[in-house]
Amino acid sequence: MRKVRKAVFPVAGLGTRFLPATKAIPKEMLTVVDRPVIQYVVDEAREAGIEHFIFVTGRNKAVIEDHFDIQFELYNTLAERGKDEQLERLRALQPVPGQTSFTRQQEPLGLGHAVWCARELVGDEPFALLLPDMIMHSQESCLKGMVDLYDKSGGNVVAVQECDPAEAHKYGIVAKGAEVGEGFEITAMVEKPAKGTAPSNLYINGRYILQPEIFAILENQERGAGGEIQLTDAMIRLGDSQKMFGFHYRGDTYDCGSPEGFVEANLAFALRRPELREVVENVMARLSGASRG
Ligand code: UTP
C-alpha cells in the first residue's frame, strides 16, 4: 500500500464571513493566540508524518508563502539580541527547503476545483487534504488517527464527528456501515441534506485521505450547490468504484471560518496555555459579570 506523504491545503477561498478583516489579509493568517490558523493545520499534518505540504492559493495570499519561508533579517536580529527562545520557536516550525509547494487556483470556483488544481503536484499517489478553516485539538492529531486507520484499511478515509441533528443540513453527512478497526465503512454520503433527511448526524469535519483517482473525477465534475464545484459530489462518484471509510474523531474542532468558531478557538487555546490561563479566566469572569450587570 502506498504511504500518505503529501498534504494539500486549499487556501484560495474569499473568506467573505470575515470581511473586512479578509479584504487584504487571508483568513488563514488570522491568529489564534499567537499563531496563524494555517500553522496549526500544517503542524497537525507534520505530526501525522506528512513530508510535503502543497498550498492551493489565490490572490492576496502571498503572505502565506512568506510565513513558511525563512526571514533572514528577523532571524539575524533575534540572534544578535539573544532572543534564543523566540528563534528556536521559529526554527522548530520551519519547513525544510523543498518541502512546500504553491499553486494558484486563479478563480475561486469551489473546494473541488481547488483540490483539482493540486493534481500535478500530488501526482499518482494518495494524499491528505486538510481544510485550514478547521483547527483541532486532541491528544493524538486527527490526521494521525486517520493515517493509522488508512494503513490498515487502504481506500479513502474521511474524518467525521457528531453534530446536533438539527444542524445536519449545514454539513456533508455520511451514513455508517460495518465497523473496520478504529473506523467504519461509509455506505452513503450527502452534501447539505434537506432538513430531516440526513442519514446520520456524522458530519465531515474537514480532513480527508483521498486516492489520486479523485482528480479525473473532478476534471469533469459539474457545478453543484452554490454554483461551485463540490468535493463531496466528486467523492460520492469515487465511492462507486473505491472503498470509503469513516474515522470517528473524538477531539475538539473549531470552525475558524466563522467569527463564532474563531473567537471560541482563541479562548480555548489561550486557556490551554499555562501562562495565559489565569488571566483569561479573570477577564472572562469580569466581562461576563459586566455584560450581565
Ligand atoms: P469555505 O467556503 O468555508 O471558505 O471553503 P471561503 O469561501 O473562503 O469562506 P466564506 O464562506 O466566503 O467565508 C472551505 C475551504 O476551501 C477553500 C477555502 O479557502 C477554505 O479553506 N476554498 C474554497 C478554496 O480554496 N477555493 C474555493 O474556490 C473555495
Q: What distances in angstroms separate CA 196 from CA 173, 191, 224, 236, one per listed residue?
A: 12, 13, 21, 20
CA distance 87 to 76: 9
- Is residue 200 within 8 A of residue 175, CB to CB? The reply is yes
Query: What is the atom index within ligand 1 of the atom nearest the CA of 113?
Result: 28
Q: Which residues pair with 204 in a beta bridge?
A: 160
DSSP state of 258: S
| Predicted pLDDT of residue 62 | 87
pLDDT tens digits for 100-126?
Answer: 999 999 999 999 999 999 999 999 999
Query: What is the atom index within ligand 1 of the atom nearest the CA of 110?
Result: 28
| Predicted pLDDT of residue 227 | 87
Q: Give distance in angstroms: CA of 15 to centre of ligand 1.
A: 6
Q: Give distance in angstroms: CA of 56 to centre of ligand 1.
A: 11
Residues in the chain with pLDDT < 50?
none
Query: What is the atom index within ligand 1 of the atom nearest the CA of 10?
Result: 25
| Predicted pLDDT of residue 226 | 81
| Predicted pLDDT of residue 59 | 79
Q: Give distance in angstroms: CA of 286 to centre of ligand 1.
A: 36
Residue 229 φ/ψ, nearest 5 degrees: -80, 110
Q: What distances in angstroms separate CA 256 from CA 28, 71, 73, 278, 286, one per listed residue?
A: 9, 27, 31, 24, 25
Surface-to-core class of residue 192, CB atoms within 10 Å of its CB (0-12 exposed, 13-18 middle, 19+ buried): middle
- Is residue 118 within 8 A of residue 56, CB to CB? The reply is yes
C-alpha cell at 203: 458530519
CATH number belonging to the domain at 6-257, selected among 3.40.50.10490, 3.90.550.10, 3.50.50.60, 3.40.50.300: 3.90.550.10
C-alpha cell at 17: 464571513
Q: Where in the chain is the domain with CATH 3.90.550.10?
A: 6-257
pLDDT tens digits for 220-230?
Answer: 988 887 888 99
Q: Give distance in angstroms: CA of 50 to centre of ligand 1.
A: 23
| Predicted pLDDT of residue 293 | 58
Nearest CA to ligand 1 atom 10: 15
Q: Which residues line ligand 1 (CB under 6 A)?
A: 10-17, 56, 105, 108-111, 113-114, 131-133, 257
| Predicted pLDDT of residue 27 | 92
| Predicted pLDDT of residue 288 | 86
Nearest CA to ligand 1 atom 4: 13
What is the best residue among 14, 56, 229 to mutate for testing ligand 1's pocket, by most ligand atoms within 8 Å of CB? 14
CA distance 29 to 67: 9
Query: Long-range contacts made by residues 220-224, C-beta under 8 angstroms, separation at least 24?
Result: 221/112, 221/116, 223/109, 223/110, 224/110, 224/112, 224/191
Cell 458530519, residue located: 203
Query: What is the atom index within ligand 1 of the atom nearest the CA of 58?
Result: 25
Query: What is the atom index within ligand 1 of the atom nearest the CA of 107?
Result: 28
| Predicted pLDDT of residue 93 | 86
End-to-end CA distance of the chain: 61
